[in-house]
Structure 1
Amino acid sequence: METAIWNFWFYGLWWINILANGFFLYQLCRPFLEFRSGRLGQVLLFLTLAGISGMVIWIGDPNMLYTMPVYFLLFLLCTKGNRTGRLAVGIVIFCLTMSVCALLDTYVLKLDTARFYELLVRVLRTTIFGILWLVLRRHFPKERVCLSRRLWQLILGLAIMPLCALIAVVLLTFQKYDSAAVNALAMNQGLVILPFVLLTSTVILFAILILADHEKLEQTNRLAEVRELYYQGLRQQEHQVR
């Protein structure tokens, strides 16, 4: 009976964590995206983000390689608008999520290999995603973020850097199982690079918000200049009439 209650609570908590992770990640990327098919696109994105947040990602393990194409396919299918911008946001969210998963799954495992490890990893994932959302939500605009094509291309170029670092430390270290020296090197690299990927992804989201505010201010200034020219023209016409 105690085992049944433990299993029910343990796996029930797993679903709660997955849904909570999906909610926080969805809220993180919602201000930057426009969805296809209305509510259906939003639900699909939510399920996609919840799914990747539950993946077990270890340094040197190919799970991320299997997750990546499915994630980007679904991400692009349920959103619309500027393709460069959607891809840039998708890469940033992917790097943010995978860096957290790889950090926790790899290094918390060294603390405990029993069920306590799985429980701790789940709680920590939800906690980190929740903190990131609480920090960023104060800076989210009421309207959807809009950038020019050139700025989205700049963001895409910046987003590729943490993605390459993530791939290098997670996927290209598969030889760690063949050598203790390679394993130690891979673990040390991950301890440095994965926090860098997480920090860089968060900073890029901040950069998008700052660029959006700057572009909105420029548009307001241009509109004010056009209005001023219009009023000057009216005043000149009135002066000529008089």
Structure 2
Amino acid sequence: MTAWDYIVWALTCVFGGIFPARTALYFLAPAKGRVRWIVPYLVIGAALSMPTWAGDGNPLYYFPFLIAAFLIGYGGRPAARLVVGTIFFEWIIAWSMIVDTRAVLPGSAGYWGAMAWKLAMWAAVWLLMRRVFRDGKQVVLSGRLWALLGLLALSPLLSELAFSMWDIRAYTIDGTDAQIDAAFYTLLPFVFVSAIALLFAVVLLSRHQALEQEHQLADMRELYYQGIRREQEQVRRLRHDMRNHLTALSGLLEQGEDGRAAEYVRRLQAASGPSGAGRFAENDTVNIVLSAKARDMAQAGLIADISVSLPENLPIADPDLCALFGNAVDNAIEAAKDAADKRITIRARADKGLLMLRVTNAYAGRREEKADGLFATTKADRRAHGFGLRGMREIAARNGGTLETTAKDGVFELVACLPLTK
């Protein structure tokens, strides 16, 4: 190889890894470190120039380096990085073995042609995944689904590495290379197609899981909202009948029936839903939610510090308001029960075209932050819980707003900001 060949080779290796490395970002979160993202680019780029013949040991030695690059250079669940790294190894090396087995020594026309074929396929897979992820949705799967995908990825992985592990060429006699190549070129395309199919399986499983969670969130919001609606209707009936109640009370007092009048008032209080908790906001939905939650906080021995300034009408759907305020306070109550500081602070106001909600509470123990920036539920059955924060973020995003959470020094804070103009 000439000096020019070495320059072209180095540039191709460095920039060739961009396509698979960026393709992996559709499936994994970027690494948090400033330099760690370079690792997968360089390690994957090395596969472009690495000769990978049938029976060659290079794939066997390359596998741990690629897996380490995915564990170091990307974020998210370790299981996700391990599985995605394995799948990428399968399709990258399978294609390399297909084109390299018939290529000749480095520096020759066949060698450069093999590199060109690899680079073309890498670009094609990147374009394909770019089209699949044009909606911008991220891959989010449970640990069990990643484990299932890992088991499915074992079969093509072992089939691919079998040629390297057994050094199959060393045990052949003259005249058998043709039969080995026939088996080789029959097996490797299936490994390549299986790896690409596994990438599509990751996408489909992720979207199916997201759809199921959306349905669960919608059902939860509907049930929550229906409960609040019943309280609203109860309050409205009470207001509608208030004139008759006042007339009856006035008659009892005029007749000197103080005892019966007091009993009448007690019955009204028992039937008035959120009465006695005060009025927290002009908006009926928010007021009823906060009134109900104020009672829950009192029953749990918590101190409610509520200051809300919201108008009667808001350009946000009542189910969204109900779920946003209700879930925020529910999470605070759940966390503050076990904390030393029993105070829950709720602030909300409509100002300068924005609805601002801030809920602050103490918590005990640690809070586990997930890859999506939210915090995992502390309840034992994680499959049945943990949708509150995700649902609130969805509500904020659907209304053009944001929702941020922080947990530091034993204090959890939720801040939601929603525009009040469409």
Per the shorter chain, which TM-score range? Answer: 0.7 to 0.9
* AA aligned opposite 1:232: Q
The residue type paired with residue 145 of structure 2 is: L
1:58/1:170 contact within 8 Å kept: no
**Per the alignment, in what secondary structure is the counterpart of residue 35 of structure 2?**
helix
The answer to which structure has the higher helix fraction is 1
Where relative contact order (Cα < 8 A, 6+ residues apart) is larger, the structure is 1
Task: Rate the CA distance shift 1:182–1:113 in 2: closer, same or farther, 3 A.
Answer: farther
Q: Determine the structure 1 residue equivalent to 2:218.
A: 224
Aligned twin of 2:121? 128
Structure with greater Cα Rg: 2
Aligned pairs for 1:67-78 (under 5 A) are: 67-78=62-73
Q: Does 1:155 align with 2:137?
A: no
Give the 5 Å matches for 1:1-242.
7-109=2-104, 115-140=108-133, 141-176=135-170, 178-241=172-235, 242=237
- Whole-angstrom CA distance in 2 between matches of 1:134 and 1:235: 49
Q: 1:114 to 1:19 in 2, by over 3 A?
A: closer
CA distance in 1, matches of 2:228, 2:156: 53
Aligned-partner Cα distance in 1 for 2:116–2:46: 16
Gaps of at least 5 residues in structure 1 are: 1-5
1:193 maps to amino acid: L
Segments of 4+ in structure 1 off by > 4 A?
none
Shift of 1:238: 2.0
Q: Which moved more, 1:165-174 or 1:46-55?
A: 165-174
> 3-state SS of the aligned residue for 1:107?
coil
**Farther-moved stretch of structure 1 (89-98 vs 50-59):** 50-59
Identical pairs, percent: 31
Deviation readout 1:167-195 (Å, 9 max, x if unpaired)? 12343343456413542332111101111
- Could you tell me how far apart the structure 2 residues matched to 1:98 and 1:40 are? 26
The amino acid that maps onto 1:148 is: S
Shift of 1:74: 2.9
Q: What is the Cα-based RMSD across aligned positions, in Å?
A: 2.2
* Larger relative strand fraction: 2
Structure 1 residues 228 and 131 mapped into 2: Cα distance closer, same or farther (>3 Å)?
same
Q: Please list every run of 5 or more consecutive structure 2 residues that lacks an aligned counterpart in the other structure.
A: 238-422
What do the CA deviations read for 1:43-67 (whole angstroms, capped 9, x no partner)? 1121121123321111111111221
Q: Post-superposition shift, 1:34?
A: 2.5
TM-score normalized by the length of structure 1: 0.88
Pairs aligned (count): 235
Q: Which amino acid aligns with 2:44?
A: L
